[in-house]
């Protein structure tokens, strides 16, 4: 009987651990050619009860997912040091390891939370190259682990880490013949902590983050017609911004967070407008009988890029907001749409069709060179990480929508197979406070 | 009889208008010559079939004093489109004209035109494309006398596929406008 109970307990624990792996799990499909070997030692913890999450595992997964590092297996580690004095570099140089991360988790009585201490070593030079701590509430332990990943990534690559960020995305599942269930969801950038922000029987699309990470804008058909809403991420408080006759779509936040660029067809054709959120004043930007949609701001707020079929096929254009001067940006291929600029303004990421196949492509705006980044099927909705290193996008696996990610140089790829429903329209958050 | 003639002229006019519209949108939508050839063929058949359908509808109207709701419900209510196109196909003319007649005879009757796209291409562009298709159907109806105030247009883009799948056949069934009474 006890045996049976033990088996049952084991099985249910297993089930819990599978369920807590959340809705999205990652799988690196292609990594960099020469990944840097790193070991992340299990973090020390002296508490009586176990920790809710394995900090070292989260950091390892983050680094692995970047495609730039190879991680040492725990069973190959000769010791588990948690402070600098316990590190014997000779042990770690075996197998060509280059960097070692150790640390420990301590209770933080002041905040009734945790304090995560970490130290990063260059094993070859036997030097400590970074160290510090992050503290926060118990529920934020995963976030603290991602902050450690950010430090390691920045130290080793020179690029600011974007692991302690979030993504929003839309899922759709068919409930019955004519009924769908749409959800706007938010998760950590590694897919954990998925939460539903909005649930509806009617379509939800085009989620967009404000640059401070505090608000979302999206399109919801909850009234039976499309409307643009904005919603505060922390409080859930929402406002309907537009519900004009016709299209109300493609909201994109201005860098100052005060305006949205949107698509409306109230005056006949789909045109780009800017709406001031406080006053609701509209400024019309385009006048053309073709389709103009999918606006996206440059980082300095001085121009907006958008998709238009004014030249015959969908291509990406830019409009200068000081003089309304319109310039065509894309010339390669017969379908370029849903453009987005990297934060430094150097690259244009878009949906590109070549030979009848839709992929994510990046165009260097200085040289004009266009590179196709993905090889999956029906790729769309690219969204750029705040550090410009990766692009998350929607693709198809059989008849299901799943999310994929690719580095901006196309060398690293991974996918996030969804456990439930059809996942689409990912939007990567900016850096979060 | 005179009324019948007038209606025949109206229908013929709307066919020309639809063909005219298609020329405009083809000019804007087509970038390569392959598309152009195909569209010209479409247009050719549109005109000839359009004549057929108008005479057929003309015949119906001569004998008929009015359509019942049941008659309308037996008509085709889903109309299909080509990829990245918003041109009403010739095969739609007969049924669309009958819908138009019913709406003209019943001015308090409202109708919703739901525009849809296939899954290829971006979601917001497809939202715009779905609206274009519904507007093309709307224009066909209004030219035949249906009041704009009877028609509401809503585009669902690629969000509400009729058929799930990645085949040409599934895509063809999803690029559509549905008339909903």
The whole-number pLDDT of residue B70 equals 84
Return d(Cα B140, Cα B135) in angstroms, integer.
9
| pLDDT above 60 for B3 | no
A217: chain B residues, CB-CB within 8 Å: none
Model's pTM, two decimal places? Answer: 0.84
Q: What is the mean pLDDT of residues B21-34?
A: 36
| pLDDT above 90 for B14 | no
| Domain-located, residue A83 | yes
Q: What is the mean pLDDT of chain A?
A: 90
Domain containing A237 equals: 166-428
Instruction: Chain A: give the shortest CA distance to residue B88, in Å.
Output: 17
The whole-number pLDDT of residue A29 equals 63
* Contact: B166, A399; criterion CB under 8 Å: yes
User: Could you state, in order of their start, the residue ranges of all structural domains in chain B?
Assistant: 2-180
Instruction: Say which residue, B78 or B84, is predicted with more confidence.
Output: B78
Contact assessment for residue A120 and residue A130, using Cβ atoms and an 8 Å cutoff: yes
Residue among A221, A92, A77 nearest B123 (CA): A221
The sign of the dihedral angle between the CA atoms of A214, A25, A13, A185 is positive
Q: What is the DSSP string of B100-141?
A: HHHHHH-TT--EEEEEE--SSS-HHHHHHHHHHHHHHHHHHH
Confidence of residue B67 (pLDDT cuts 50, 70, 90): confident
Q: Tell me: do A398 and A249 sit in the same domain.
A: yes
In this structure, the strands spanning A36-40 and A99-108 are: parallel
Q: Tell me: do A325 and A414 sit in the same domain.
A: yes
Q: Is B30 on the interface with A (CB under 8 A)?
A: yes
Q: Tell me: do A151 and A204 sit in the same domain.
A: no
User: Residue B125 is nearest to which of A225, A337, A425, comparing CB atoms?
Assistant: A337
Which residue's structure tokens are 């933080």?
A108
Neighbours of A328 (CB within 10 A): 13
Q: Is A171 on the interface with B (CB under 8 A)?
A: no
Contact assessment for residue A299 and residue A345, using Cβ atoms and an 8 Å cutoff: yes
Q: What is the mean pLDDT of residues A136-146?
A: 94
Residue among B131, B145, B160, B178 nearest B25 (CA): B131
| Domain-located, residue A5 | no
| Domain-located, residue A54 | yes
Q: Tell me: do A152 and A170 sit in the same domain.
A: no
| Domain-located, residue A320 | yes
Q: How many CA atoms lie within 13 A of A383 on its CB side?
A: 24
Q: Tell me: do A225 and A362 sit in the same domain.
A: yes
Residue among B92, B75, B165 nearest B133 (CA): B92
Confidence of residue A37 (pLDDT cuts 50, 70, 90): very high
| Domain-located, residue A1 | no
Check which CATH number belongs to the domain holding A185 and give it.
2.120.10.30
Q: What is the mean pLDDT of residues B127-150?
A: 96
C-alpha angle B130-B132-B134 in degrees, rounded to nearest 5 = 70
What residues contact A334, with CB distance under 8 A and at least 6 apart? A313, A353, B31, B32
| pLDDT above 70 for A311 | yes
| pLDDT above 90 for A32 | no
Contact assessment for residue A410 and residue A373, using Cβ atoms and an 8 Å cutoff: yes
What tokens does A350 get?
């878009």
The whole-number pLDDT of residue A20 equals 36
Confidence of residue A385 (pLDDT cuts 50, 70, 90): very high
| Domain-located, residue A7 | no
Contact assessment for residue A148 and residue A154, using Cβ atoms and an 8 Å cutoff: no
Q: Tell me: do A363 and A342 sit in the same domain.
A: yes
Element (H, E) at A347: strand A347-354
Q: Tell me: do A148 and A203 sit in the same domain.
A: no
Percent of chain A with pLDDT over 70: 92
Q: Is B158 on the interface with A (CB under 8 A)?
A: no
Where is the domain boundary, A89, A123, A157?
A157
The whole-number pLDDT of residue B8 equals 53
Chain B residues 38-77 with a CB less than 8 Å from chain A: none
| Domain-located, residue A68 | yes
Asked: is B2-180 a CATH 3.40.50.10800 domain? The reply is: no
Q: What is the CA radius of gyration of chain A?
A: 24
| Residue A157 three-state SS | helix
Q: Tell me: do A292 and A361 sit in the same domain.
A: yes
| pLDDT above 70 for A283 | yes
Digit-coded pLDDT (tens) for A157-185:
999 999 999 999 999 988 887 788 999 99
Q: Is A426 on the interface with B (CB under 8 A)?
A: no
How many structural domains comprise chain A?
2
- The ipTM (two decimal places) reads 0.88
Instruction: Say which residue, B70 or A418, is predicted with more confidence.
Output: B70
Where is the domain boundary, A111, A131, A157?
A157
B165: chain A residues, CB-CB within 8 Å: 399
C-alpha angle A386-A389-A393 in degrees, rounded to nearest 5 = 80
Going by the DSSP 8-state scheme, the letter that residue A94 receives in this structure is G
Residue among A113, A170, A119 nearest A143 (CA): A113
Contact assessment for residue A269 and residue A275, using Cβ atoms and an 8 Å cutoff: no
| pLDDT above 80 for B43 | no
Q: Is B28 on the interface with A (CB under 8 A)?
A: yes
Give the best residue of A265, A291, A401 to mutate against chain B (max B CB count within 10 A).
A291
The whole-number pLDDT of residue B5 equals 52
Q: Tell me: do A87 and A222 sit in the same domain.
A: no
| pLDDT above 50 for A87 | yes
- What phi, psi does A230 have (nearest 5°)? -120, 150
| pLDDT above 90 for A391 | yes
The order of strands in the sheet holding A390-397 is: A27-30, A413-416, A400-407, A390-397, A377-384
How far separated are the first and last CA of chain A, in Å rounded? 51
Q: Tell me: do A33 and A81 sit in the same domain.
A: yes
Where is the domain boundary, A132, A157, A182?
A157
Q: Tell me: do A136 and A242 sit in the same domain.
A: no
Digit-coded pLDDT (tens) for B31-41:
333 333 333 33
The whole-number pLDDT of residue B51 equals 35
CB-neighbour burial class of residue A345 (10 A; exposed 0-12, middle 13-18, buried 19+):
middle
Q: What is the mean pLDDT of residues A282-288?
A: 97
| Domain-located, residue A15 | no
Check which CATH number belongs to the domain holding A31 and give it.
3.40.50.10070
Q: What is the mean pLDDT of residues A48-56?
A: 90
Return d(Cα B121, Cα A334) in angstroms, integer.
11
Residue among B43, B6, B54, B4 nearest B21 (CA): B43
Return d(Cα A285, Cα A296) in angstroms, integer.
13
What tokens does A3 get?
């045996």
In this structure, the strands spanning A370-372 and B176-180 are: unpaired
Cα distances (Å, whole numbers) of residue A44 to A85, A186, A234, A368, B136: 14, 30, 32, 51, 67
- Nearest C-alpha in B relative to A333: B31
Neighbours of B120 (CB within 10 A): 20
* Contact: B121, A396; criterion CB under 8 Å: no
* Contact: B125, A265; criterion CB under 8 Å: no
Q: Tell me: do A289 and A411 sit in the same domain.
A: yes
Return d(Cα A258, Cα A277) in angstroms, integer.
6
> Which parts of A202-285 are beta strand (E)?
204-209, 215-220, 227-232, 238-242, 248-253, 259-264, 271-276, 282-284
């Amino acid at each position: 009987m006890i045996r049976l109970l033990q088996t049952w307990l084991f099985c249910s624990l297993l089930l819990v651990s599978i369920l807590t792996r959340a809705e999205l799990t990652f799988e690196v499909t292609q990594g960099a050619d020469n990944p840097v070997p790193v070991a992340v030692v299990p973090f020390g913890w002296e508490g009586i009860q176990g920790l809710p999450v394995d900090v070292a595992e989260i950091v390892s997964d983050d680094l692995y997912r970047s495609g730039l590092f190879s991680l040492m297996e725990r069973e190959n580690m000769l010791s588990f040091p948690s402070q600098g004095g316990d590190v014997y570099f000779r042990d770690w140089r075996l197998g060509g390891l280059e960097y070692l991360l150790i640390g420990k988790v301590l209770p933080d009585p002041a905040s009734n939370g945790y304090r995560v201490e970490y130290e990063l070593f260059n094993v070859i030079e036997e030097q400590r190259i970074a160290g510090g701590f992050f503290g926060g509430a118990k529920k934020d332990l995963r976030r603290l682990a991602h902050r450690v990943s950010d430090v390691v990534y920045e130290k080793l690559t020179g690029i600011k880490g974007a692991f302690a960020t979030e993504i929003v995305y839309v899922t759709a599942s068919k409930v019955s013949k004519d009924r769908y269930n749409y959800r706007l969801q938010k998760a950590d950038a590694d897919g954990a902590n998925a939460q539903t922000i909005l649930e509806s029987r009617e379509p939800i699309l085009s989620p967009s983050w404000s640059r401070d990470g505090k608000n979302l804008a999206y399109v919801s058909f909850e009234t039976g017609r499309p409307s643009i809403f904005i919603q505060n991420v922390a409080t859930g408080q929402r406002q309907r911004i537009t519900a004009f006759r016709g299209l109300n779509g493609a909201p994109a936040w201005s860098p100052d967070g005060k305006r949205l660029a949107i698509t409306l067809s109230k005056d006949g054709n789909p045109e780009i407008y800017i709406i001031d959120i406080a006053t609701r004043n509209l400024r019309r930007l385009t006048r053309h009988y073709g389709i103009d949609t999918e606006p996206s701001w440059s980082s300095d707020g001085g121009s907006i890029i958008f998709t238009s079929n004014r030249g015959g096929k969908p291509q990406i254009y830019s409009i200068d907001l000081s003089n309304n001067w319109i310039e065509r940006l894309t010339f390669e291929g017969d379908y370029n749409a849903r453009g987005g600029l990297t934060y430094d303004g150097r690259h244009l990421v878009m949906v590109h069709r070549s030979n009848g196949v839709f992929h994510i492509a990046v165009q260097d705006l200085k040289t004009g060179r266009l590179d196709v980044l993905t090889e999956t099927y029906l790729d769309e909705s690219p969204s750029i990480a705040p550090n410009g290193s990766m692009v998350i996008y929607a693709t198809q696996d059989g008849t299901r929508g799943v999310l994929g990610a690719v580095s901006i140089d196309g060398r690293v790829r991974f996918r996030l197979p969804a456990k439930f429903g059809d996942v689409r329209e990912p939007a990567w958050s900016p850096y979060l406070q | 009889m005179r009324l019948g003639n007038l209606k025949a002229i109206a229908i013929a006019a709307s066919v020309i208008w639809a063909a005219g519209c298609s020329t405009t949108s083809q000019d804007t939508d087509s970038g390569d010559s392959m598309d152009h050839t195909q569209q010209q063929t479409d247009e050719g058949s549109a005109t000839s079939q359009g004549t057929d359908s108008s005479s057929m509808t003309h015949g119906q109207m001569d004998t008929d004093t009015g359509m019942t709701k049941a008659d309308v419900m037996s008509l085709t209510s889903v109309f299909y489109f080509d990829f990245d196109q918003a041109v009403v196909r010739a095969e739609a003319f007969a049924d669309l004209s009958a819908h138009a007649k019913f709406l003209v005879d019943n001015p308090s009757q409202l109708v919703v035109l739901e525009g849809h796209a296939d899954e290829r291409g971006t979601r917001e562009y497809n939202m715009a494309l779905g609206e274009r298709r519904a507007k093309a159907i709307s224009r066909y109806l209004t030219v035949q006398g249906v009041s704009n105030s009877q028609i509401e247009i809503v585009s669902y883009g690629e969000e509400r596929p009729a058929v799930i799948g990645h085949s040409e056949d599934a895509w063809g069934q999803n690029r559509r406008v549905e008339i909903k009474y």
